[in-house]
Amino acid sequence: MPEHSTIKAFVNAVKSRRTKPTKVLDALLSNPASYQGTPLLTSLQQPHALDNLPQWAKNELGKPGQSDPELSLSNAELDHINSWPKDEKDKARDALVTAIVGARPIAFRWELSDGALSVTQVDGLQGSGLITVRFLSPRENVRKGDATYGQIYVDIVKP
């Protein structure tokens, strides 16, 4: 979930487990095999390639917005992705590589958790089926803005 969003977007994300960033990732990876043999895959194969989002990653994350304005990530959303804990982001990077190399389906979801840290959980890495990447944000880090402008904030907690 982006660092801040409207109450309506937040409620929808809680219900659907999908945020704008997860929708963008789903759109980009609708055909993981299309990235086989590309410089993007070569870059992703380097551990911690997404620690500080490189320009190529920002360009890729912006692509779905070219055909669907609803999937255009703002600088704040890119900053939010960039601020996710590096080791947790690397779990997602590893899942991306596995999906691309194995031409396997991959889905991205967001959830609130009872944990104390912002974490990434990956299910389905073994085998040949769907890989699911879940970004978990601590429930206790949800807060509303000081003024009532309909904003909800989800803070990232790093180890």
Q: Which strands make up the sheet holding 106-113, listed edge to edge?
A: 106-113, 131-138, 119-123
Contact yes or no for 106/95 (Cβ under 8 A): yes
pLDDT of residue 96: 97
Looking at the predicted structure, is the pLDDT value of residue 152 above 80? no
Quick one: tokens of 126?
């073994």
Which of 5-9, 131-135, 139-143 is predicted with the least confidence, judged by mean pLDDT? 5-9
Residue % of the chain over a pLDDT of 70: 89
Quick one: tokens of 79?
């900053």
pLDDT of residue 69: 87
Contact yes or no for 133/122 (Cβ under 8 A): yes
User: 76 vs 8, which has greater pLDDT?
Assistant: 76
Q: Give the tens place of pLDDT for each residue, 3-40.
A: 556 777 777 888 888 999 999 999 999 999 999 999 99
Quick one: tokens of 149?
């402008």
Name all contacts of 139-142 with Cβ < 8 Å and 24+ positions apart.
139/112, 139/113, 139/114, 140/116, 142/10, 142/112
Q: Give the tens place of pLDDT for each residue, 100-125.
A: 999 999 999 999 999 999 999 999 99
Q: Which strands make up the sheet holding 142-144, listed edge to edge?
A: 4-6, 151-154, 142-144
**Mean pLDDT (whole number) for 78-89:** 92
